[in-house]
Amino acid sequence: MSAIRVFPEWRGKDLDGMLHAVVELLDDTEFPTVKRWREAGGKVVGHFQVYFPEEIAHAAGMLPFKMRGAPIEPKHADSHFGSYLCSILKTSLELVVSKRVELELFVTHPICDAARNLAAVFGRNFPYPCQILYLPQNATSPAARTYLAGEYARVRDLCGEIAGVTVTDEALRNSIAVFNRNRELLRKLYAIKRETPWQVAMHEAYALVAVGGLMPREEHNELLEAVLPLLETRERKKHDRVRVVFEGGFCEQPPFELIRAIGRSCYVVDDDLLIGLRWILEDLPVTGDPLDALAWGYLERSSYSPVQHDPRKQKEDMLLKRVRESNASAVILAAAKMCEPGLEEQVAYVHALDEAKLPYFVTEFEENMTSYDTLEIQLETFVENLLFV
Amino acid sequence: MSETAGAESIVGRGNREGARLFRQWFDGLGQAAEENRGGAYVFVMGSLGELLSTFDLPLVFPEINSLQTAVRHQAHDYLNEAEDVGYSPDICGYVKADVATQRRGGMLPMGRIPKPSIAVLTNACNTYIKWAEIWERMYKMPAYVLDIPASRQDGHPVNRHTPGFERDRKYVAAQLRELIAVLEQVTGKKFDVDRLRETMKHANTMSRGWKRVLELNQSRPSLFNALSDGTIYLGVCNGFRGHEAGAKYFDELVEEMEYKRANGIGTLVDEKHRLLFVGVPCYPIFRRFTELFSEHGGTFVNSTYLWFASGGTNLGFEYELADPLESLAEGLLTGVSDAMDSMFFQTNALVKMVDDFAVDGVVYHPVKSCRTTSTGQADSRRALMAARDVNSLFIESDMMDRRVVSEAQLKNRIDAFFEGLESRRNQAAAGIA
């Protein structure tokens, strides 16, 4: 269990004060909590979106830092990339080149053709290990689970070597328990969004999830344990708003102000925003072989996304399931600019939603965009059409 | 046969015979389509031609079909059609051309291709997976994604001496056995290990030949242009993998290159600048693109394309025929990993190519359509410049979409690049450091 705490600003405050502190932290592109972690002697694993088993880094006593870009200008990183690429690649490198964040290990996955290049790009620029974690795309192969457990063992050994510890099964089970608690709390947050969406604004829920990637998960658990009961009991008026699912936030994130704007127009009752911090959908076993449990979690209990291939989880079917289970009546289909898998999936989503006669709003975003007026007007028009037709 | 007649029959044979084989291959696909026989849709990085041909499945390479629409200046019609049904201008042009092809019942400028009975793909490119998902939705046929755990870190290439190799090889072998069961189901044919040995023997000949052909281009003058001639050889390498005709072709290609080397016959009359090409060719102006360099006496002596688009055949890996399935797993793992290395972890390979091929300049050609091969190029260029004092050119365009190909801009940049090469050469001749 990590004893280091890096985010004292929320403690001793009322709900609004805590939420303000969380938003302030999310807004801070100097990543103060990661710096405090390092000042306390901690080491950091930077893991690019989406499906990194954070429990392994945690068990080694390292901070798993979710690399999801940032709303910053890629002044240094720009010259390392060409055109026609999504922004998150550049700003993720910028975070490290500019020393806003310092790492001891970088891990990416072949989630898309661009992201798989990052291990090479980082590796050419930093002296520490920069690796690819090959997650199975042949998810229904009976051999995939054993392979993945072995791949996780490799990451465990690497983390242990960097941290200067032997990562025991006991440590891994303890970490799984910490993350199980985190998963439980995040599910509870999403239940509030789904069942009483007026109790928590879209941007508040988003910020509460996002800061989990910036601090030890025990501390995130403490924060959520303090905030969630207050969210449930706060006095908020229910408005006559359309219930909407937001799809397209699995990797690059929309700007926080855009999330705030969307939340002003409708109730977003479910989404795939920051799915990389909550991709294991159920608790994992805390007995038996922990790496096998993590491998099982990826193959059998993970969230779908456009960057995971599993014939048992057709993406359009999963989206319709998400809409049904959240009792939504419309969908915002977003994609980050130049995000190939997201843009490709939009075609299948559109066809499925047409067939299901569900209204949808298609848009693109970029983490560095600064003007939302047009998009907000379009969205409001879409929503008004639904409300008043 | 007189010496002149001998030269006439050997020199250029690879190009002539390559065109003939390509026509033959495509005629076969057209016949399969007419007879309503399904094909195996495969990709250049890990086609498994040696296995699939034992099930008599016609091999369809959608990447090659799509690039052919660009070479024949018809890609824009296909791209527009796919964009009209919702595919973004910002996704791979190969995918979009194929979507339109499927919507046209398999019709291409070169003829008609069969529908897929199965798709077999590796994880070497994520777009392969998204692409196969489109076919799954269209045809409800199986798409088998074969995981190849490739190099995890720069400087740690996959080979049998590396830690974890055996674990990864076993995973690949297990998947091959699963794939064979799927193929038996799809085709109704029993797997024949002796036929596999036969096709693997032909693949061995091809691998040996391709490696040798690439090595021979270290000659001065270079014997073939890696960008133009090389693409023809590459087509045979993919389409005829595991076939006797493919093996024979590469035996003869080696013979042709050996002959040219022995007789000092190069691809250009006056080779002035030896170049490397990094990335995917500019197919919308394929011939003109090469001319923009050859007009200055520049010839491409090698390219990463000839490596990754051959699925790692450049390694010359030869299968152990005594234990074919286990060896096929090793060859696939090693070859496809090498193909990925030549896209992602390419710096060391480029440095070696610069040295071995006495290269004067390196041309980086990132394209809008392909993030796999393009994302890391700018950074890789920085690393190469730090490692070797060699001129380089960074030009962006596309492999499919003529809307992002500006010949005038390309020409300006290429002309300036050659001015730099000439200037450096003149300075060296004058003894100026």
Structural element, H or E, at residue A130:
strand A130-132
What would the DSSP string read from start to end of A217-261? HHHHHHHHHHHHHHHHHS--------EEEEE--SSSPPPHHHHHH
Amino acid identity of A8? P
CA distance A329 to A126: 47
Phi, psi of B298 (to 5 degrees): -95, 135
| Secondary structure letter of residue B54 according to DSSP | G
Q: Are A136 and B147 in contact (CB under 8 A)?
A: yes
What would the DSSP string read from start to end of B195-256? HHHHHHHHHHHHHHHHHHHHHHTTSSS-SS-TTTHHHHHHHHHHHTTT-HHHHHHHHHHHHH
Give yes or no for residue B2 having a pLDDT over 60. Answer: no
Contact B368 A341 (CB under 8 A): no
Structural element, H or E, at residue A148:
helix A144-163
Which among B88, B130, B378 is the nearest to A81, CB-wise? B378
Q: How many residues does chain B have?
A: 433
Q: How many CB atoms lie within 10 A of CB A358?
A: 17
Largest CA distance in chain A: 63
pTM for the model: 0.96
Residues 277-306 of A with CB under 8 A from B: 306
Say what the pLDDT of residue B433 is. 59
Amino acid identity of B98? D
Whether the upstream peptide bond of residue A285 has omega within 30° of 0, thus cis, is no
Give yes or no for residue B374 having a pLDDT over 80. Answer: yes
Contact B147 A137 (CB under 8 A): yes
Average pLDDT estimate for B146-156: 96
Which among A79, A120, A338 is the nearest to B154, CB-wise? A120
> What is the tens place of the pLDDT at every residue in B75-95?
999 999 999 999 999 999 999
Q: Which residue intervals of B318-433 are DSSP H helices?
A: 324-341, 347-356, 371-374, 377-387, 407-429
User: Nearest CA to B175 among B127, B131, B121?
Assistant: B121
Say what the pLDDT of residue A3 is. 78
Contact B376 A85 (CB under 8 A): no
Residues 55-94 of B with CB under 8 A from A: 85-88, 90-92
Q: Is B419 near chain A, with CB under 8 Å?
A: no
> What is the tens place of the pLDDT at every residue in A66-86?
999 999 999 999 999 999 999
Q: What region does A368 belong to: left with phi over 0, alpha with psi -120 to 50, or beta?
A: alpha
Ranges of chain A whose pLDDT falls below 70 = 1-2, 389
CA distance B196 to B26: 23
Q: Is B378 near chain A, with CB under 8 Å?
A: yes
Q: How far is A218 from chain B (nearest CA, A)?
A: 30
Q: Is B267 near chain A, with CB under 8 Å?
A: no
Say what the pLDDT of residue B224 is. 97
Considering only CB atoms, which chain B residues are within 8 Å of A299? Answer: none
Say what the pLDDT of residue B159 is. 87
Considering only CB atoms, which chain B residues are within 8 Å of A84? Answer: 90, 366, 368, 371, 374, 396
**Residue B318 corresponds to which tokens in the numbers above?**
């030869």
Q: Is A256 near chain B, with CB under 8 Å?
A: no
Considering only CB atoms, which chain B residues are within 8 Å of A151? Answer: 149
Which among B127, B149, B168 is the nearest to A340, CB-wise? B127
Contact A141 B178 (CB under 8 A): yes
Q: Is A341 near chain B, with CB under 8 Å?
A: yes
Which among A113, A131, A344 is the nearest to B153, CB-wise? A131
Q: How far is B93 from chain A (nearest CA, A)?
A: 11
Say what the pLDDT of residue B161 is. 87
List CB contacts of B83: < 8 A, sequence separation 6 or more: B89, B96
User: Domain spans of chain B?
Assistant: 3-429
**Residue A32 corresponds to which tokens in the numbers above?**
């103060």
- Percentage of residues in chain A having pLDDT higher than 90: 95
DSSP three-state, residue B62: helix
Average pLDDT estimate for B268-283: 92
Which among B153, B368, B383 is the nearest to A84, CB-wise? B368
The label of the residue with tokens 């040295």 reads B355
Give yes or no for residue B5 having a pLDDT over 70. Answer: no
**Residue A264 corresponds to which tokens in the numbers above?**
């002003």
Q: How far is A111 from chain B (nearest CA, A)?
A: 7
Characterize B322-349 residue by residue with b for buried, 16 or more Cβ atoms within 10 angstroms of its Cβ, and e for exposed. Answer: eebbbbbbbbbbbbbbbbbbbbbbbbeb
Mean pLDDT of chain B: 96
- Report ipTM (2 d.p.): 0.95
Residues 45-84 of A with CB under 8 A from B: 79-84
> What is the tens place of the pLDDT at every residue in A5-47?
999 999 999 999 999 999 999 999 999 999 999 999 999 999 9
Give yes or no for residue B3 having a pLDDT over 80. Answer: no
Q: How confident is the model at residue B162 (pLDDT cuts 50, 70, 90)?
A: confident
Which among B129, B164, B344 is the nearest to A137, CB-wise? B129
Structural element, H or E, at residue B186:
helix B165-187
Which among B85, B88, B174 is the nearest to A141, CB-wise? B174
Contact B344 A154 (CB under 8 A): no
| Secondary structure letter of residue A300 according to DSSP | H
Nearest residue on chain B to A79, alpha-carbon basis: B378
How many CB pairs below 8 Å do chains A and B form together?
A: 163
Say what the pLDDT of residue B7 is. 76
Considering only CB atoms, which chain A residues are within 8 Å of B406? Answer: none
CA distance A202 to A264: 8
CA distance A21 to A7: 9
Q: Is B397 near chain A, with CB under 8 Å?
A: no
Say what the pLDDT of residue A389 is. 67
> What is the tens place of the pLDDT at every residue in B209-264?
999 999 999 999 999 999 999 999 999 999 999 999 999 999 999 999 999 999 99
